[in-house]
Chain A
Amino acid sequence: MAAPLSALFRPGRAVWGLAMAASGLSLLVAILLLRQVLEQGVISYPMGNWPAPWGIEYRVDAANAFMLLIVSMIGTVVIAFARTVVEQRIRLPEHKQPWFYTAYLLCLTGLLGMIVTGDAFNVFVFLEISSLSSYVLISLGRDRRALTAAYQYLIMGTIGATFILIGIGLLYVMTGTLNMMDLAARIPAVSGTRTIRAAFAFLTVGVSLKLALFPLHLWLPNAYAYAPSPVTAFLAATATKVAIYVLLRFFFTIFGAEFSFNVMQLDRILLPLALIGIFSASVVAIFQTNVKRMLAYSSVAQIGYMILGVSLVSVTGLTSTLSHLFNHALMKGTLFMALGCISLRIGAASLERMAGVGRIMPWSMGAFVIGGLSLIGAPLTAGFVSKWYLIVGALERGWWPVAVLILLTSLLAVIYIWRVVEAAYFKPAPEGSTQREAPLALLIPAWTLALANLYFGMETSLNAGVARQAAETLLGVAP
């Protein structure tokens, strides 16, 4: 039952093959878990056989089974992609390569742990595990600025983690428990107190830092831009997603939608922040010349869409958030991996250097275009599904201007994606370039995700159907 974890606590020196096997196994387990949850409902596993309120409990319902699937899927695909890049681009010495995989697996463990755990303090522990290892991963970037970026992330991340810890501490003081279900049961009795409100505020800000909600997103563009491409693909597709999941857990399961949104009126804060975030980040993305950075800003904007879905506080809104978690993981994974293929060959990810790439590397650019279309939300790609739900959700609440803004901002996405496409297909390649297509070991994972974008755009029972079920679970409509 808790196999995703036991599979990952393998000895640290695992090399690529082992890492591949471990993440593949966790993907398999995640699929089985999701099936089981959908059939039988919540699964609970007390660690060390201590019953729930005392021991640490692992609890899996539709929402986190869905998340497990996302993270382990991306984890597996990216690790397949990572090997060539680690050898050829990061140029780690032979004996240090295992350390990369160690950090990677630790990060994956932390993320998976945050998802499955049913214990608030345990969330913090796993958060630190994943964060510390991700600092290491980012600092592996070839550019020296990667170190600064990692340092920046370290500072911001630690502040966030501290806030979360303070929040959890305050909750413990007031309720005397750390188990999520227990917390949820006891909080209503003391919800009027200022301490609980403070805890709520600390947790919100702390988690928002980790998920890079505007205006707390400043660490993200640098971290994504300078990290090695597999790391960027992995973090972009999973780390912020897990943070959003944690946010949802706290808002909906622990504090309850009633307290979060009626008493604290969180939606009134989240909505404008999400909208400003989407808008400003999209505009900034248009003016970037480094494509990796551009995609990083676009991530900030996409996070805005997810938070927007949360602030709608309806089943449709949450469905859009959760399905966008899934779809965005697919599209950003595709984009960053395709970009990884390209930068492996041309050595940089700036717009000028990408001139003419479309002719030299048709497959890499093909994957990029598919990912880009999905990001824009063209129909028949995964991105369309979540956008559809988001607009429906906004109209359900009667928020016309919001629906219009969502559509407008997707046009901004058209602009920044199309700048890359034009550069790659219409500008002549520099004279005498001797570049070739990226190796198959990179193309296969990138195309796997690209095709997944198309597949899940047409067969939506997983990303929309399950997301809806998960949303209902979180809102307590169908416990």
Chain B
Amino acid sequence: MSAESALLLTLFIPLASTLFIVANDARPDWREGATLLASLLLLGTVLSLLPEVLAGGRPTVDLFEFVPGFTLRLTVEPLGMVFAGVAALLWPLNSLYSIGYMRGNHEQHQTRFYVCFALAIASAIGIAFSGNLLTLFVFYEALTLTTYPLVTHKGTPEAMRAGRLYLGILLGTSMGFLLLAIVWTWQVAGVLDFTPGGILAGHIEGPAVAVLLALFVFGIGKAAVMPFHRWLPAAMVAPTPVSALLHAVAVVKAGVFAVMKVVVYVFGVDFLSATGASQWLMWVAALTVLLASCVALTQDNLKARLAYSTVSQLGYVVLGAALATSLGVIGGSMQIAMHAMGKITLFFCAGAIYTATHKTEISQMDGLGRVMPFTFGAFLIGSLSIIGLPPLGGSWSKWYLLAGTADAGQWAMMAVLLVSSLLNVAYLLPIAARGFFAPSTHGTSETGVREAPLACVVPLCLTALGCVLLFFSADALYTLLAPIATR
């Protein structure tokens, strides 16, 4: 199988799986079997692209001419490979987990759920492999629209409000800013292809560079850079597998990935550091990191706390991009993978706790760790990875980001990163600590509580294991990413 056909297959597999899912509406076992099979096939296909990319190949497929002069183009490059790899790796786990969660909670409209899920994965893969800005935009919008039914899954007034906010912010920013930025780029540069080294150098100068960067960064609302982060905590009303998808796999990662891609392939790292146009972005990202961490401290609802933690962690990626040094870019890209693995573990745990006990507030979770040791053990590992302690994956991305700040001579940013790590400790560790050590507030009534269904517990143990494995495979990730920084 050539790399080009494998590339097409990555889009085709999730799309085709929706047909099987719909056809087996009445047979849940078949329907979910189709989802699992498709996700494993997708993982295999994406991995089959890896050797080619490592060897320096850039398989490209032109789908069709879209507006005269612009083609819908798919290209595989290292950054996209990382994102697609993360998405493809976590989809099977998330599917397995969804089965346990959705059945355990007797959710409605499960077929619609699996269909939208597969469509969202297809869009995420499309974003990962997009070869030019227009393709990125197309799949970006597709991702917004396909995840909307997932956010409003419960159909309650609260879910609808959240859905409105979700759609309003994401469509508003992408149509209002991102499309404008794309047209502007086309206007000055004449091309929209992602090119190593950027396409804007020499075409635009002065304050306009910073304005264009602002349009891009704020236009990509999915990156949740403050003040456009509100949709993310609001979207917490969705079922937990969706939150895991939103926060770890598809949506937010698509956002920061797009920012990264714009910085690396449209502006070019050298061009940005030469003009200093990303200075302001660095400060905005730093502010997002710190403020969101502080807000997370005040949240009692577990999912809301995790959501703000995500906003803060996404700030790291944007910060890495804004540093405009090769180490910063590598650190930021690594953070995409590391944070995905850590955060999906945390969300899986939150969902498992909900399925087993129907508890959502942290203050009610005292002593639960003793009856749900696997769940809380995994939660602890995930937390440590997010904080960035070895031997867990998160430590490497923090390490490269810190090295990046030192490289750029931004000591203030280094301080921000260190303070933020302390804040992470402050808002994540107490949760696990309460679970294990605090005396149970409900006396003996907790004895009725057991671990969540196996389909929930197995994936979260696997992702926790993944956090550990990522620590030891960071070298491979670095080799993959090195070409984008050094060109």
Contacts and interface: CB of A to CB of B under 8 A. Distances in A.
Interface of A: 373, 377-380, 385, 388-389, 391-392, 395-396, 403-404, 407-408, 410-411, 414, 418, 422, 426, 458-461, 464-465, 468
Nearest to B171: A414
5 contacts: A385-B67, A388-B183, A414-B171, A422-B160, A422-B164
A378 B141 contact: yes
Given A378-B145, A404-B180, A414-B167, A460 B175 contact: no
B104 interface: no
For the complex of A and B, the 6 pairs showing the least CB-CB separation, nearest first, are A379-B138, A391-B183, A407-B176, A395-B187, A407-B175, A379-B141
Nearest to B134: A379
B66 interface: yes
A383 to B, nearest CB: 12
A333 B381 CA distance: 56
B172 interface: yes
A408 B167 contact: no
B414 to A, nearest CB: 38
Contacts of B141: 378-379
B183 A392 contact: yes
Contact of A411 (B72, B172, B187): B172
A389 B183 CA distance: 10
Given A380-B138, A395-B187, A460 B180 contact: no
Contact of B183 (A385, A403, A411): A403
B170 to A, nearest CB: 11
Given A414-B171, A465-B68, A407 B155 contact: no
A379 B137 contact: yes
A426 B175 contact: no
Contacts of A392: 183, 186-187
B280 interface: no
Contacts of B168: 414
B9 interface: no
A8 B312 CA distance: 67
B176 to A, nearest CB: 5
B145 A460 contact: no
Contacts of B171: 411, 414
Contacts of B134: 379
A379 B134 CA distance: 9
B184 interface: yes
Q: Residue among A377, A380, A389 with the most chain B CB within 10 A?
A: A380
B167 A391 contact: no
Contact of A461 (B68, B155, B160, B179): B68
Q: Residue among B68, B134, B145, B152 with the most chain A CB within 10 A?
A: B68
Contacts of A465: 68
Nearest to B138: A379
Interface in B106-165: 134, 137-138, 141-142, 145, 152, 155, 160, 164
A390 to B, nearest CB: 10
Nearest to B156: A426
Contacts, number: 67
A465 B70 CA distance: 13
B176 A458 contact: no
B160 A426 contact: yes
Nearest to A404: B180
Contacts of A414: 167-168, 171-172, 175
A410 B175 contact: yes
Contact of B152 (A411, A426, A464): A426
Contact of B64 (A395, A410, A411, A458): A458
Contacts of B64: 458-459
A379 B175 CA distance: 10
Nearest to A411: B172
Nearest to B63: A458
A391 B180 contact: yes
A411 B176 contact: yes
Contacts of B175: 377, 407, 410-411, 414
Given A392-B183, A414-B168, A460-B67, 18 more contacts: A377-B175, A378-B141, A379-B141, A380-B66, A385-B67, A388-B183, A403-B180, A404-B180, A407-B179, A411-B176, A414-B171, A418-B167, A422-B164, A458-B72, A460-B66, A461-B65, A464-B67, A464-B68
Contacts of A404: 176, 180
A38 to B, nearest CB: 15
Nearest to B177: A407
Contacts of A385: 67
Interface in B173-195: 175-176, 179-180, 183-184, 186-187
A410 B67 CA distance: 19
A408 B176 contact: yes
A396 B187 CA distance: 8
B324 to A, nearest CB: 27
A373 B148 CA distance: 14
A379 B138 CA distance: 5
Contacts of B180: 391, 403-404, 407
Interface string B446-471: 00000000000000000000000000
A177 to B, nearest CB: 38
Interface in B47-94: 64-68, 72
B160 A460 contact: no
Contact of B65 (A373, A411, A460): A460
B296 to A, nearest CB: 30
Contacts of A396: 187
B181 to A, nearest CB: 11
Contacts of B172: 411, 414
A426 B179 contact: no
Contacts of A460: 65-68
Contacts of A422: 160, 164
Contacts of A373: 145
Nearest to A373: B145
Contacts of A426: 152, 155, 160
Given A407-B176, A411-B175, A422-B160, A388 B167 contact: no
Contacts of B167: 414, 418
A377 B175 CA distance: 9
A380 B138 CA distance: 7
A404 B172 CA distance: 12
A459 B160 CA distance: 35
A380 B63 CA distance: 13
A299 to B, nearest CB: 21
Contacts of A411: 171-172, 175-176
A385 B168 CA distance: 22
A465 B134 CA distance: 18
A77 B409 CA distance: 66
Contacts of B145: 373, 378
Q: Residue among B134, B152, B172 with the most chain A CB within 10 A?
A: B172
Nearest to A378: B141
A422 to B, nearest CB: 6
B382 to A, nearest CB: 34
Contacts of B152: 426
Contacts of B187: 392, 395-396
A414 B141 CA distance: 13
A465 B68 CA distance: 7
B398 to A, nearest CB: 36
B26 to A, nearest CB: 17
A379 B67 CA distance: 10
A404 B178 CA distance: 11
Contacts of B68: 460-461, 464-465, 468
A219 to B, nearest CB: 31
Contact of A458 (B66, B164, B183): B66
A468 to B, nearest CB: 8
A396 B183 CA distance: 10
Contacts of A403: 180, 183
Q: Residue among B66, B67, B160, B164 with the most chain A CB within 10 A?
A: B67
B61 to A, nearest CB: 15
Nearest to A385: B67
Contacts of B184: 395
A388 B187 CA distance: 12
